[in-house]
Structure 1
Amino acid sequence: MRREAVAVAVGSVLVVAAFVIPHLDLGIVTPLINATPERLRSFADTAPIFGWWNTHVGAGTIPAFAIGAAAVLWGPPLAQRLPWRWLPWLSWTVSCAWAFSLAMVDGWQRGFAGRLTARHEYLRQVPTVTDIPEALRTFAGRILDYQPDSWITHVSGHPPGALLTFVWLDRIGLGGGAWAGLLCLLAGSSIAAAIVVTVRALADEDTARAAAPFVAVAPTAIWIAVSADGYFAGVAAWGITLLALAVRGSVRRPVAAAIGSGLLLGWAVFLNYGLVLMAFPAVAVLLGAATWRAAVRTLVPAVVAALAVVAVFAAAGFWWFDGYLLVQERYWQGIANDRPFQYWGWANFASVVCAIGLGSVAGLGRVFDIAAIKRRSGLHLLVLGALLAIVVADLSQLSKAETERIWLPFTVWLVASAALLPPRSARWWLELNVIGALAINHLILTNW
């Protein structure tokens, strides 16, 4: 228990410091500089979480409490007894219901249907895309701000795959915030199933069963429903899952799984520039291969498939590296210039603690196991890969604030570390996660 206690103590101190320090007038160690009181309230009221203090309840309150209580009381034993073929499906179903109920605490319009229709969101740009090939050819030229035809904030900050997704959804007759939200909810909540399947492939079935309740009611659900980053995280998660299944030979056609992994991870990079950092979890999965030959047999088709996605976008007129360089300029044209690294460089990690819950932080205390790392334990390596991706993202200074949402593709894997907790204490850590998620969602009106 010593490692869990140390991890939770460090995480708790980090969160308390991140919430308290903005109110101590410590100069540049603040979430926002050059700001009026009104601007501070708008963008840093509940730093390190992006939102506003607002104690509230809603239509989702009772379902959320019921799902959380049921997960704590019956989740662990049910996960142990349920036939395996049903466990990923149940994990996905519970995660979807949990995320939707948390969203509905803020109401149907504010919490779900209207989230992706805000003025900076993708759906505001969808009606302007009348010629998809032309939009792709001119995409990079419209990234920088202060131009007559600049893309709106979220569109400019991401590769064209994100916008294309919602344009395609609209073209097939599923336009509007509710359908877009449903896509993000289903893709994001499917991460629970992806993690369970991955943990079984990299560790064993007992470990996967231990992880299931934690990933089903993870606090990350607050930001999965309904932000586009939930969709991005879902795509990336299944890319890692297919990679794990391929490298461990857990499927009949490992080459096909490797190709599928490459296509998904390649597509993910065109949803979010930061998802190039999924290379760290992917390499971690390959390092856990039984033999180097198995790793190479998986790596080659996966890389070829990912490069095929790059080639398609290049042929359509969008070069990823051009977009990435321009989006860095756009980043510093905005509010990022007033968010000092002296605060966010460490407060970002406090938002990670809030997103994964203290129960998962306790699990992280067991990831730093030298013996397990030396024997190339797949789960340990995968979680460490996700942690490394987060550290690199933080040091890039291109992720300052809102990381509870932006880092979802990485933080969801940290929740899996709870499977390493001793069974006798797992339920208490799960309860702590549920309580934390309910508290955040009812005390803070989150922006996402």
Structure 2
Amino acid sequence: MTDLIVLGFLVTAVSVLTIPLVLAAVRDSVGEEAARRYLPLLVLAPYAIWTAVSLDGLVAVLGAAAIVSGLRASRRRVRGWAATGWAVLAGLLIGVASLFSYSAPWLGLSLVCVYFARRRASLNMLSGVGALLPVLGAQLLGFGWADGLVVAETDYASRVAPYRSVAWWSAISIVVLLLAAGPPLVASARKVRRTAMWPFLVGAGAAVVFSIAAGLTRGGVEHAWLPFFPWLTVAAVAPEVAGGDPPPTPLLLVGIGAVAAVVIEGLLITPW
């Protein structure tokens, strides 16, 4: 039991690094003031209660670091070897994250959208090469990423799929999404067309929609989606118009999120 507690503390300590990384991405996209106002929403989000129970928290950190690296690479004044280094690093981080989670490559879609929005499409090739390096390295060491994906799908199809209804568990997963992300999810989605942070919502949103549509959400999404939750609510404090002032921190939403986390943990009586 002591070892599990220590492991839980270690996983949590690493997972919380997602917070400054996401805030760095917000600051790079829409300014420091918006990042400051997003901080309470991020820290008191209901999904925070699941960060200590899964290595998906580590995937969240790697994915967030990749996005921050991509933002650095695509800055207007960053060119040449500096841009190349940051872009390759972004890809490397996505590649390493992919070795821990088969859903991590979806965060690469956010990178593609960032490069598209900032008119730096050539960086996609560099990040793509970077993402392949860890996968190819693992292949040389005896782990085939594609083969592992097939094995995982086969195991899922034989051990889980026959015993859990697609419709029922998809509905449960949507409820979990709404509970975990809370009202900020709605506030964020409402601004997706009017904020420079739309690439983050596209990548995370595509991952969630695909997993539901493909019938892959039959339990465990509360931690499997940890790498995507912060990016789904990231636009909650985005300016209403491009270049405008960010709205004040929605204290009501912050309070609802904190209370929801306490209620979820109290009612579900989770085993950790």
Q: Normalising to structure 1: TM-score of the pair?
A: 0.55
Give the CA deviation at 1:420: 2.9
Give the CA deviation at 1:425: 6.6
Whole-Å separation in 2 of the counterparts to 1:341 and 1:223 = 24
Q: Is the 8 A contact 1:328 1:398 kept in 2?
A: no
What does residue 216 of structure 1 align with? 43
Q: Is the 8 A contact 1:267 1:306 kept in 2?
A: yes
Q: Is the 8 A contact 1:242 1:258 kept in 2?
A: yes
What does residue 390 of structure 1 align with? 208
Q: Is the 8 A contact 2:237 2:249 kept in 1?
A: no
Q: Is the 8 A contact 2:192 2:235 kept in 1?
A: no
Give the % identical residues.
Answer: 27
Whole-Å separation in 2 of the counterparts to 1:388 and 1:394 = 10
SS of the equivalent of 1:344 reads helix
- Residue 213 of structure 2 is aligned to residue 399 of structure 1: no
Whole-Å separation in 2 of the counterparts to 1:267 and 1:232 = 9
1:128-185 alpha-carbon deviations (Å, 9 max, x no partner): xxxxxxxxxxxxxxxxxxxxxxxxxxxxxxxxxxxxxxxxxxxxxxxx4344323321
What does residue 20 of structure 1 align with? none
Distance 1:260 1:250, change over 3 A: farther
**Aligned AA (1:286):** Y
**Aligned AA (1:400):** R
- Residue 266 of structure 2 is aligned to residue 429 of structure 1: no
**Aligned AA (2:219):** A
Whole-Å separation in 2 of the counterparts to 1:266 and 1:245 = 18
Distance 1:246 1:194, change over 3 A: same
Whole-Å separation in 1 of the counterparts to 2:124 and 2:271 = 39
What does residue 418 of structure 1 align with? 236
Whole-Å separation in 2 of the counterparts to 1:249 and 1:326 = 43
1:230 to 47, 57, 77: 57
Q: Is the 8 A contact 1:363 1:420 kept in 2?
A: no
Q: Is the 8 A contact 1:265 1:306 kept in 2?
A: yes
| Residue segments in structure 1 that go unaligned for 5+ positions in a row | 1-108, 114-175
The 5-angstrom pairing of residues 51-70 of structure 1 reads none
2:148 to 303, 323, 344: 323
Distance 1:270 1:255, change over 3 A: same
What does residue 264 of structure 1 align with? 93
The 5-angstrom pairing of residues 284-299 of structure 1 reads 284-289=113-118, 291=119, 294-296=120-122, 298-299=123-124
- Residue 265 of structure 2 is aligned to residue 446 of structure 1: no
| Residue segments in structure 2 that go unaligned for 5+ positions in a row | 240-245
Distance 1:179 1:235, change over 3 A: farther
Q: Is the 8 A contact 1:202 1:379 kept in 2?
A: yes
Whole-Å separation in 2 of the counterparts to 1:406 and 1:424 = 31
Give the CA deviation at 1:438: 1.5
Give the CA deviation at 1:441: 1.6
Query: Is 347-356 or 420-429 further displaced after alignment?
Result: 420-429
Give the CA deviation at 1:365: 4.1
Give the CA deviation at 1:193: 0.6
Distance 1:191 1:277, change over 3 A: same
The 5-angstrom pairing of residues 22-171 of structure 1 reads 109=1
2:176 to 341, 348, 351: 351
Give the CA deviation at 1:381: 2.7
SS of the equivalent of 2:146 reads helix
- Residue 129 of structure 2 is aligned to residue 304 of structure 1: yes
Distance 1:350 1:342, change over 3 A: same
Give the CA deviation at 1:261: 1.2
What does residue 103 of structure 2 align with? 274
Give the CA deviation at 1:218: 1.5
**Aligned AA (1:318):** F
What does residue 122 of structure 1 align with? none
Distance 1:302 1:415, change over 3 A: same
SS of the equivalent of 1:275 reads coil
Distance 1:425 1:245, change over 3 A: closer
Give the CA deviation at 1:300: 2.5
Larger C-alpha radius of gyration, 1 or 2?
Answer: 1
Q: Is the 8 A contact 1:247 1:254 kept in 2?
A: yes
Give the CA deviation at 1:231: 1.5
Whole-Å separation in 1 of the counterparts to 2:9 and 2:74 = 32
Q: Is the 8 A contact 1:198 1:241 kept in 2?
A: yes
SS of the equivalent of 1:423 reads coil
**Aligned AA (2:154):** E
Superposition RMSD on alpha carbons, in Å? 2.2
SS of the equivalent of 1:283 reads helix
Instruction: Flag as ranges the 4+ runs of structure 1 deviating above 6 A.
Output: none
- Residue 175 of structure 2 is aligned to residue 364 of structure 1: no
Give the CA deviation at 1:345: 2.2
What does residue 160 of structure 2 align with? 335
Q: Is the 8 A contact 2:69 2:89 kept in 1?
A: yes
What does residue 243 of structure 1 align with? 70
Give the CA deviation at 1:388: 1.5
